[in-house]
């Protein structure tokens, strides 16, 4: 597979993000994919979004899991664990998160909390917290192009696409694919409110991620666990994501 086309102007390549492996290939082995069961769905998404000269740079097939209550982050992590030889259930993650004081009802308002759970339950993946995504978006595209799945919080609209609600509709998605086209980058995502693969412009997702300021007013009667500094703080959600790099 040839190297993907250059990113759009506002998504510059970072000088340190060399996309060649030690053998001089344009992309690592896991990026040279052959679409199987998801091929038809991805083709429909490319056509629906009218992506010109689209090229799937990376895709990882995971089965959808639907959430029960405010468990979107735990569901996303459970989907990611399907890549592990011993997948983890949402119930196991919920029990662990409660013991650690990360959640009461399944909500996770901290990327740091999610990173701790990933390190505990996905030992064959290296968790890496990505920060300042709005000013350094290439860290996310670089991670995807080199085989990582990414857990990212954002505001979810009525159709589950990224929107701007200051965090009142915060949701977690698992990024499992990257598409390069003349329209820029699009990401392929799984999340706990749909069985269908989603395709969103990367710019929209990053803008939504960067607007996460506070938790919504319609909170669970028992309250939510909010990290020190709040949703928009250094241990919260805004401008942050969690990359899960496979050990190879």
Annotation marks residue 60 as catalytic: no
Tracing tokens 């959430």 back to the chain, one arrives at 67
Angle (CA) 15-21-23 rounded to 5° is 135
Point out which residues pair with 199 in neighbouring strands.
188
Q: Where are the alpha helices (DSSP H) in 81-149?
A: 90-99, 111-121, 138-145
Q: Which of 60, 72, 163, 199 is catalytic?
A: 72
Please give the C-alpha separations between residue 212 and each of 27, 73, 167, 200, 209, in angstroms, as whole numbers: 33, 15, 4, 18, 6
Distance CA 177, CA 162 (A): 16
What is the Cβ-side half-sphere exposure of residue 19, based on CA atoms within 13 angstroms? 26
Helix (H, G, I), strand (E, B) or coil at 178: strand
Q: How far apart are the first and last CA of the chain?
A: 20
Please give the C-alpha separations between residue 82 and each of 26, 133, 179, 181, 204, in angstroms, as whole numbers: 27, 26, 22, 29, 27
Distance CA 156, CA 158 (A): 7
Annotated catalytic residues are 72
């Amino acid at each position: 597979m040839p190297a993907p086309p250059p990113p759009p102007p506002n998504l510059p390549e970072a000088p340190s993000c060399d996309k060649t492996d030690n053998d001089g290939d344009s992309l690592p082995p896991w990026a040279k994919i052959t679409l199987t069961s998801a091929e038809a769905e991805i083709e429909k998404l490319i056509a629906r979004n009218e992506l010109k000269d689209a090229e799937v740079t990376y895709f990882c097939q995971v089965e959808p899991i639907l959430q029960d209550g405010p468990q979107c982050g735990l569901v996303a992590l459970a989907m990611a664990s399907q890549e592990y030889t011993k997948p983890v259930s949402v119930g196991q993650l919920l029990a662990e998160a409660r013991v650690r004081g990360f959640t009461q009802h399944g909500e996770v308002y901290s990327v740091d909390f999610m990173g701790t759970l990933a390190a505990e339950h996905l030992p064959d993946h290296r968790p890496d917290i990505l920060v300042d995504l709005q000013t350094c978006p290439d860290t996310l595209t670089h991670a995807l192009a080199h085989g990582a799945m990414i857990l990212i919080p954002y505001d979810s609209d009525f159709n589950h696409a990224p929107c701007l609600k200051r965090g009142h509709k915060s949701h977690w998605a698992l990024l499992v694919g990257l598409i390069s086209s003349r329209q820029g980058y699009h990401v392929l995502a799984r999340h706990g409110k749909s069985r269908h693969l989603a395709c969103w412009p990367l710019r929209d997702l990053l803008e939504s991620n960067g607007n996460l300021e506070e938790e919504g007013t319609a909170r669970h009667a028992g309250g939510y666990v909010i990290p020190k500094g709040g949703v928009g703080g250094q241990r919260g959600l805004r401008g942050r994501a969690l990359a899960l790099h496979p050990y190879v």
